[in-house]
Amino acid sequence: MNNPDGTTSYYDTITGVKLVDTSLVVDGQTFNIDAKGVVTKAHTPGFYTTGDNNWFYADSRGRNVTGAQVINGQHLYFDANGRQVKGGFVTNTDGSRSFYHWNTGDKMVSTFFTTGHDKWYYADDKGNVVTGAQVINGQKLFFGTDGKQVKGGFATNANGTRSYYHGATGDKLVSTFFTTGDNNWYYADAKGEVVVGEQTINGQHLYFDQTGRQVKGATASNPDGSISYYDVHTGDKAVNRWIKIPSGQWVYFNSEGKGYMSN
């Protein structure tokens, strides 16, 4: 019997009850009946396509499978409509995400992959897209909450410090100066944490603001109310000399590099 919405339902010839959630053979053809009683022609078991690279898989009853499936040893995924996911992310029941290969549909496992535009991800040995700090093949890397690898950018660590990851390799920078351009310089310590405040590095007395940017050609305030000046070129703290600070005032910095503003 045809329904008002254009679908078809089947009613038992004896009881008159609408059939639901079953299969039916009519004139040698198999039909599937869903939980709402809608009748559809069963597909031949196996993979089939409706064109435009839309692939489906019919089970032994001719019904389209959905969700995560292992077919012929492949770990595949089919959306709620039965269409196979290829070149896309899927959210797993535990909240993690997996990515399925563009051509084969295989779940990516233990590998890096890109979605283009230099967006890189890593799928672990379970096929879960990793997030946060990771050590992979000896590299210390970081992936955002969306799984995208941080390259040429800062990441905030669990202890509130920040680290910076190389623009090309994605490696965490350790024990080195680095710049983000526009003469903005930073220093990553032996743990890969971007330093702040007063630091002695390679014998130089330097200062880094609260964002980690090195102070050059400017003053910084000390806890005792004095100020210190850091050279515009080297970043060294000025000692035992007069400096015309950015405000235009001349200030003498003593052997400790401390100066006092006149009222």
Which amino acid is it at 111? T
CATH code 2.30.30 region(s) in the chain: 1-42
- CATH classification number, 197-259, choose in 2.130.10.10, 2.10.270.10, 2.40.30.60, 1.10.10.10: 2.10.270.10
Amino acid 16: pLDDT: 67
Contact 237, 230 (CB under 8 A): yes
Amino acid 18: pLDDT: 73
Distance CA 24, CA 13 (A): 13
Distance CA 237, CA 233 (A): 11
More confident: 22 or 51: 51
Contact 143, 132 (CB under 8 A): yes
Spell out the residues 6+ positions from residue 223 whose beta carbon is closer than 8 angstroms to its own. Answer: none
41 pLDDT band, cuts 50/70/90, is low
**Percent of the chain's residues with pLDDT above 90:** 79
Encoded tokens for 50: 């409706």
Map the chain to HEC letters.
Answer: CECCCCCECCECCCCCCECCCEEEEECCEEEEECCCCCEEECCCCEEEECCCCCEEEECCCCCECCEEEEECCEEEEECCCCCECCCEEEECCCCCEEEECCCCCCECCCEEEEEECCEEEEECCCCCECCEEEEECCEEEEECCCCCECCCEEEECCCCCEEEECCCCCCECCCEEEECCCCCEEEECCCCCECCEEEEECCEEEEECCCCCECCCEEEECCCCCEEEECCCCCCECCCEEEECCCCCEEEECCCCCECCCC
Q: Does domain 1-42 have CATH number 2.40.170?
A: no
Distance CA 245, CA 251 (A): 7
Spell out the residues 6+ positions from residue 155 whose beta carbon is closer than 8 angstroms to its own. Answer: 133, 142, 144, 162, 163, 164, 165
What torsion do the CA atoms of 242, 243, 247, 250 make, to the nearest 10 degrees? 20
Neighbours of 182 (CB within 10 A): 6
Question: What is the tens place of the pLDDT at every residue in 251-263?
Answer: 999 999 999 987 6
Question: What is the tens place of the pLDDT at every residue in 123-168?
Answer: 999 999 999 999 999 999 999 999 999 999 999 999 999 999 999 9
CATH code 2.10.270.10 region(s) in the chain: 197-259
Question: What is the tens place of the pLDDT at every residue in 184-204?
Answer: 999 999 999 999 999 999 999
Residue 26 has pLDDT above 70, yes or no: no
28 pLDDT band, cuts 50/70/90, is very low
What's the whole-model pTM score?
0.80
Distance CA 119, CA 196 (A): 30
Question: What is the tens place of the pLDDT at every residue in 68-101?
Answer: 999 999 999 999 999 999 999 999 999 999 999 9
